[in-house]
Structure 1
């Protein structure tokens, strides 16, 4: 069994499953091509039944089943399997959908023109020959290919204990690399990769990254990520988006791919797809995936890449038979094996041609002697008794060889004419010139390689084409965020620490004074305390009232219905006992902190880091501004919070009895507005506060009256010329509020008492929040009973500071109070529909405060002291 299995293994490895490093062919492919060559089935001849080819191969060369031979023949003709097909098939040869070819009695074939260059000079003793399976004839052990077929068309096969997987490449690129190896034998891999940047698949597609290619070319093993080419098209009438796939990864079955996508949609593992159809035709591939109206096409495409064969890995193993043994070779070694093979073939061919030329020269020299002594030779032949006597006489009289004498005897009399005589002399001169050239080739390695390079360039000129597969720079693996649509979310946090998110689109705009819509159902002894709007891809810096900060992603917060309670935030961040969330700061990107000490970067890297930091600052601001209930303020660089631990890090020092109430992004030139529950506000320049470390306590921002406390800290960015002027929206606990021009809040020095921002009468109640808003924005208010209203900011009256304001939301009882206010960056279409208000569930809409209510038509009154 041991001996039998080893014999079988070697037979499979050497004689069946692995290609030869020289011509890139397995025995079955070599036998098919040679059999068609022997039958004369060249590209300029008629097609012949494949059944005849299969029969010829089985009869003389390949002692295996007819299906194995026919399958191999079919593959050589399939343009989606071979980058440069070697057989020209006529009839049904299958499809990229995995359809099988028709039976060989129906199909016809002949060699492609390229195959002639694979078999060129095979009859000139250029390769070794061996007996066939029954010793009835001989077959070539390798073909004298004129191009690096192993790299050009690739190969794949599974032997015993080993397998090969060589991707196809572009003809022009590989030939250029082979020429470079000839001209620069000591060239390096990076030099070769300038010519061969990577595989070039017949089905095109996109290769992501060069690391896998480089590793495969260096070591002979590597993995390449191949992605389909897909684009997003928008229907001109319906404006619906569709993903259109025009190229798929190599060796992916299109029909199975489409079926797999359909199964995933049916099983609800892929969402956002409304229709799927294959519109491929003779003109090209086209798979259309229609996207639902509320889905994001790029996110759907990312999910397709992650869960289907639209993105797949191609494992490269450059294993081939080299010198009778299987070896893993790198790119340069494969090219060197081909160059060495061509050198051997051209040398053998030149020797053969030299031998043939010398034999012809020998005959022509004899004919020349005959022409010079034609009368004497004719006389000698006339007097000879027979052919043998004439031959012997010529050899004796003129010193000719037997071949020369025989050629003279066989010469026709018409060759004695003047024209024919000259042809003989011209042919002799040409043959002698050829002999000189052939000797030159054999005598100089430089000339020999010039011949090889010339033939390579001829093949390149005839068959080279444009690269099909695009190679893109390395991309990071698909993260979880890539599979999640980026959209604005309303995030709500309850007093008991429950958090949830819902799309902004869930809440339609209403006019001020409306009853609102349920944002969450309040539980006994629990109420909603805050809300904010942020993208699903944003970072969340969760600040606790104890001055610690935690790191979270919006998409990590569970999405729930409007009436759902949500999830305890302690399950998302590791809050300490008794610690509550004070502020949640959405940040789109977090800049990396600069290196220091032993981690200092070199000059070039430092400049790149500074540039990246500037970009991050420009996008998100430079500092985090913090404010406490007792009026202490602090600003810290944003990059100080870029690497928080799971258990949180210190954001600022907190005194006993104090608590953090606000965290904002603060950039250069901004102003800070602190508002108190007692209706006071102070505005000062951010430069009045020096940057501090995370552990600092901060400095005084506003002087508070007894019993008063800071309720909001707002950062006011500079207003550029031409931009709309912002207003300050102040909202009180009883649902009243107003907008006031920003210019009415004069800039003061930090630490003062500030100015009156709104009257905190019994009707209004204490201030809940003061925020900067624009006319184009919308605002959301929420009560501790779970009612939420969304309204355009421009619908809220703009009146002076020392006034009471107007009703913004109707509260049903004294126990119900407004607890949160947030801005919505973009208005929805519903918000622009003037006069349309949506009632809360079971309630009628209230478009504005009744005229007889106090404060409905308030005007500015009183003084500012």
Structure 2
């Protein structure tokens, strides 16, 4: 049997607490973890924990901007194993984004291999790509070895990681950030580094600077994909003052002359975070659905640079009109929402203004400067202490050699020796005498440094060099003392350091020039649909089953047409491709069709229900060409109706517009153009009533008012006419009958009316 004692038995403990408190505490813990350790960036260095750990791990792997590349799998593996205990795929995705120059204004990772592209394609697997730090990323970490920031234990306590980076430039605004936490989110656009540093200089000169003065130096975001910002300055200023707003950005385009009066538009820059492939798919869809009739074709001729070619349908099209329409209907114009929600001091989430974010950065730089200065002073003090020992050694070289050679404990002997004057060297061990007891002049550090000195260094210990180094360090230390005691000198030094970064990465360098331009949005006029379509005559034919087609030209409406088995003619009329066609359903909804979008006349056409959201059980009551300025009389089978302006019934979507309100069992019975001064209605009981048109209200939608009263049945038909001209119809024999005097049927609205005159159509229809 083993001598080891059995482990103590642990009794389970049951804890009872209210469900609301248990869930609340755990959810709060999760929310705080998400906010502070995942989603929101730190205002000081602009990094989230995963990005900070990636950069630090790459630094620990010595992947500087001039070193060789290392496999991305190695980097993501080290980050996961040492600092970030999450999935390697998430870590690699975060690292890959830092290398994408179309996503990050100043890339922090230099990638080699397929790191994705602006089309939206994903990076290659981590085993195929390699990476190292960029030069600007190294400036973010300058001072890590000089106690510039605090360190904390990693997740398992075996290593340490920085709480925040020293950040030599305002990375939060330079590269932007986005993230979604619990109950809050952040979305910060990238900016131009040169302009940001100018803004920092202005704040150093005038701490009370206004946001308006800052916006003069930092006019707006600077996106890595360029584009043109068309947001007014007052809107940008308000967004920077409040920390919330949006920026409207358009693609950059130009007209390319093809000769003989023809031209095409070439798009060379697209808005930020728009995938080029999806943009082209959307443009192709607009062409296919004929929503932008001015556009004939789109081609992607991009190589390393973006080149999207847009062909107009005709050379008479105005380029500005075409682009204005595309800006409204595609991602050639987008809005970037600003939500400057960041962690202040890495602890408190807050929506900050532009000035507050720059102030948080500058305060951080001041803290870094102080800590680096104190660290440098400690190094100088240590070196000065050693230099004093070396100078003493140089002045008393023979005595030092004697002690090291003959004393049993040379370190203690060196510390006990009085070094007030030079000593002569002993010629043998018997000539060596132990130093007298007393207070020594060498410290333990100095004695240790002397003992660790190589023999070959003795001949280099020249007094002038040692004294010169000591004087230089003493002078440097005095400067550091002055720096730590003077706020003015500290801010001046911060300005000098920022200027050095500006010279390296600012205007005139590969990364420094502004990419996003500014322009006035102008007024995009609503182009009439007729102006975007070639005007051609068509004949619209719709069958009883709702199959619709548009034949070219104005064909004879009485000519026989082909229909599917069991189907037949219902509507046929002449129109033009520029016309809007109103379709009225029995459920009271009005739908709008475009003549140019109707299927061609070959074959049987297409079901109209594929073009609009017309229910299967709703019959088509009316199909006619819309004419601006006309008013319509609409009435239900229950005998209720009203006058509606034609512009009010136009629908902008497939879902149509509900105009006539009908209840169960009631349908739309009449839709006719309102002309003249009187209304004639006839019920299923063959009673006719004539009343003034002015008695009907004009409404945009609703049930309407009673037109005629019925004991049984409902409304059969209604028509508007001029009373002085009388009323005409065709009798059952096909002859036209005219009734000039309608006095017998005149009455107030909502009356019962009188029986129709002899010869009135048997179907109770006026026409």
TM-score bracket, normalised by the shorter chain, equals 0.5 to 0.7
Q: How many residues align?
A: 506
CA distance in 2 between counterparts of 1:380 and 1:177 reads 62
CA distance in 1 between counterparts of 2:496 and 2:227 reads 32
Helix, strand or coil for the counterpart of 2:298?
strand
Q: What residue in structure 2 maps to residue 343 of structure 1?
A: 366
Counterparts in 2 of 1:421 and 1:6: CA distance versus 1, 3 Å: same
Q: What residue in structure 1 maps to residue 513 of structure 2?
A: 466
Deviation at 1:379, TM superposition (A): 3.2
Deviation at 1:405, TM superposition (A): 1.5
Confirm whether residue 436 of structure 1 aligns to residue 489 of structure 2: no
Q: What residue in structure 2 maps to residue 567 of structure 1?
A: 627
Deviation at 1:419, TM superposition (A): 6.1
Q: What residue in structure 2 maps to residue 362 of structure 1?
A: 385
Q: What residue in structure 2 maps to residue 481 of structure 1?
A: 527
Counterparts in 2 of 1:484 and 1:60: CA distance versus 1, 3 Å: farther
Helix, strand or coil for the counterpart of 2:144?
coil
User: Deviation per CA, 1:360-393, whole angstroms, max 9, x where unpaired?
Assistant: 1011011112222223333333441233443443
Helix, strand or coil for the counterpart of 2:253?
strand
Q: What residue in structure 2 maps to residue 407 of structure 1?
A: 449
CA distance in 2 between counterparts of 1:380 and 1:99 reads 73
Q: What does residue range 300-379 of structure 1 map to in structure 2 within 5 Å?
A: 300-323=322-345, 324-379=347-402
Q: What residue in structure 2 maps to residue 285 of structure 1?
A: 306
Helix, strand or coil for the counterpart of 1:40?
coil
Deviation at 1:179, TM superposition (A): 1.2
Confirm whether residue 24 of structure 1 aligns to residue 46 of structure 2: yes
Q: What residue in structure 1 maps to residue 289 of structure 2?
A: 267
Deviation at 1:65, TM superposition (A): 0.6
Counterparts in 2 of 1:425 and 1:64: CA distance versus 1, 3 Å: same
Q: What does residue range 486-635 of structure 1 map to in structure 2 within 5 Å?
A: 567=627, 569-571=629-631
Counterparts in 2 of 1:569 and 1:107: CA distance versus 1, 3 Å: closer
Deviation at 1:466, TM superposition (A): 1.6
More off after superposition, 45-54 vs 403-412: 403-412
Helix, strand or coil for the counterpart of 1:246?
strand
CA distance in 2 between counterparts of 1:359 and 1:568 reads 91
Counterparts in 2 of 1:376 and 1:318: CA distance versus 1, 3 Å: same
CA distance in 1 between counterparts of 2:445 and 2:320 reads 81
Deviation at 1:474, TM superposition (A): 5.1
Q: What residue in structure 2 maps to residue 799 of structure 1?
A: none
Deviation at 1:488, TM superposition (A): 13
Q: What does residue range 752-763 of structure 1 map to in structure 2 within 5 Å?
A: none
Following TM superposition, the consecutive aligned residue runs of length 4 or more in structure 1 with deviations greater than 6 angstroms are: 486-490
User: Deviation per CA, 1:601-620, whole angstroms, max 9, x where unpaired?
Assistant: xxxxxxxxxxxxxxxxxxxx
Using structure 1 for the length normalisation, give the TM-score. 0.56
Q: What residue in structure 1 maps to residue 758 of structure 2?
A: none
Confirm whether residue 94 of structure 1 aligns to residue 86 of structure 2: no
Q: 1:141 aligns with which of 163, 166, 169?
A: 163
Q: What residue in structure 2 maps to residue 62 of structure 1?
A: 84
CA distance in 1 between counterparts of 2:499 and 2:236 reads 26
Deviation at 1:566, TM superposition (A): 8.0
CA distance in 2 between counterparts of 1:53 and 1:354 reads 35
Q: What residue in structure 2 maps to residue 457 of structure 1?
A: 499
Contact 2:390–2:461 (8 Å) recurs in 1: no
CA distance in 2 between counterparts of 1:470 and 1:484 reads 34
Q: 1:210 aligns with which of 233, 240, 244?
A: 233
User: Deviation per CA, 1:711-738, whole angstroms, max 9, x where unpaired?
Assistant: xxxxxxxxxxxxxxxxxxxxxxxxxxxx
CA distance in 1 between counterparts of 2:403 and 2:128 reads 65
Using structure 2 for the length normalisation, give the TM-score. 0.63
Higher relative contact order structure (alpha carbons within 8 Å, sequence separation ≥ 6):
1
Helix, strand or coil for the counterpart of 1:126?
coil
Contact 1:299–1:483 (8 Å) recurs in 2: no
Contact 1:234–1:241 (8 Å) recurs in 2: yes
Structure 2 spans left out of the alignment, 5+ residues = 1-22, 419-437, 507-511, 537-553, 556-594, 597-623, 633-697, 699-767
RMSD of aligned residue pairs (Cα, Å): 2.9
Structure 1 spans left out of the alignment, 5+ residues = 491-516, 519-557, 573-646, 648-865
CA distance in 2 between counterparts of 1:394 and 1:116 reads 48
User: Deviation per CA, 1:462-485, whole angstroms, max 9, x where unpaired?
Assistant: 101221111123534x34238774
Counterparts in 2 of 1:569 and 1:399: CA distance versus 1, 3 Å: closer
CA distance in 1 between counterparts of 2:464 and 2:452 reads 18
Helix, strand or coil for the counterpart of 2:473?
helix
Contact 1:61–1:139 (8 Å) recurs in 2: yes
Deviation at 1:568, TM superposition (A): 7.0
